[in-house]
Amino acid sequence: MDARADIRVGVLGCGMISADHFRAWAGCRGASVVAVCDPDRRRAEDRAAEFGIQAVYTAPEAMLAAGGLDAVDIITPRQTHATLVRLAADHGVHALCEKPLCPTYEEARALMQGVGGRVRVMVNENWRFRAYFRQIGEWIRAGRLGTPVQARLSLWRSNLIPRADGTVIALQRQPFVATEPRYLVAESLIHELDTVRSLFGEVEVVSARLARASTDVVGEDAAAILLETRAGMPLVVEGVLSAAGHAPRAPNRMEIAGTRCSVVLEGAVLRLFGAEEEELRYDEDAVRQGSFDASVQHFVDQLRAGGPHETSAEDQLRTLALVERTYELAGPARPLTRRRTAVNA
Ligand SMILES: NC(=O)c1ccc[n+]([C@@H]2O[C@H](COP(=O)([O-])OP(=O)(O)OC[C@H]3O[C@@H](n4cnc5c(N)ncnc54)[C@H](O)[C@@H]3O)[C@@H](O)[C@H]2O)c1
């Protein structure tokens, strides 16, 4: 890799979330996207046209075989990640890979054993890069909370409740989640689990419960996970996607009780209160895009500097272990409603 030239990046997968990645790459210092690939040629061509990228492929093997890449950004369904990371490693190409690195902890562990340090692999756990979580982290490290005593991170949304015309926002956005046996925790709360690790250090899952209210998905859409930090602090990560009255894509709510100050994050407003008071207001859309920008920039900066990635594949294994333990302890999701067909019959 030439130390002065931009890192040349190929993007694999031009679906829904790739829009946020392409915007991040467009503003990234020290890297340029030079090739895109999606089996759906139209999608690849549309992104290439929008972002001025010359080379368009429909097969990842062809894109890698053409050479000239330093890194790939893998933004494809979770079942394809291992094959694509291996393909990149076989070509000596570094990888930024969307979460979850693999559908299960064991597959991810086997993958990284196979890669064996030949290339750098970072996972796009962008949630922890959100500006308000970074701010909370700074407050904790500066001792402004005193001793953190208890915390809760929640994701309450209504995007699985059918609209009047029968359409379901979550499924329009990501049709594949309808048939995923592991839904809310593996797809979404993995971010929250990673975020609490970034704030409080390593945690253990003490117990977990999963349920399903929607008749349109097979996996869990409600989850409550009780965790414990190394210091013994109780911590709850929870989520529900059929919460009537809440916004379809409501942001996280977080509460932390501290012996000096407590923290509440609600509606993208962050408050520190107790021994001192501070209130910060965020634009949720800017925070969201900013987290992709920061994650992509971190990938590039650490590749260039040869430094460690905060959300390396090895780090992701620790988050995936929490996901795995959650499913193990909770067992199958309990159905809270009968399937729509049964109700209508
Ligand atoms: N970080 C986040 O906030 C976030 C948010 C949503 C999704 N995701 C993750 O991003 C990934 C993609 O999710 P999405 O919602 O964009 O899915 P999507 O289905 O909208 O897009 C996936 C794209 O990958 C393409 N594809 C499939 N196999 C391919 C292959 N072998 N090579 C190249 N392209 C291939 C598909 O044709 C499709 O266009 C998933 O792992 C998901 O969990 C992350």
What is the secondary structure of 204-227 as a DSSP string?
EEEEEEEEE--SS-SS-SEEEEEE
CA 24 to chain centre: 15
* Separation between Cα atoms, residue 31 and residue 43, nearest integer Å: 22
Residues shown for the chain? 345
CB 217 within 8 A of CB 159: no
Instruction: State the closest ligand 1 atom to the C-alpha of 176, by its place in the atom list counted from 1.
Output: 19
pTM of the model: 0.95
Collect the ranges in the chain with pLDDT lower than 70: 1-4, 338-345
Helix (H, G, I), strand (E, B) or coil at 270: strand
At 89-145, the pLDDT tens digits run 999 999 999 999 999 999 999 999 999 999 999 999 999 999 999 999 999 999 999
Q: Which of 14, 16, 293, 320 to mutate to test the pocket of ligand 1 (most atoms within 8 A of CB)?
A: 16
- Six-digit token string for 254: 């977080």
For the chain, how many helices (H) and strands (E)?
11, 15
Instruction: State the closest ligand 1 atom to the C-alpha of 175, by its place in the atom list counted from 1.
Output: 19
pLDDT of residue 340: 52
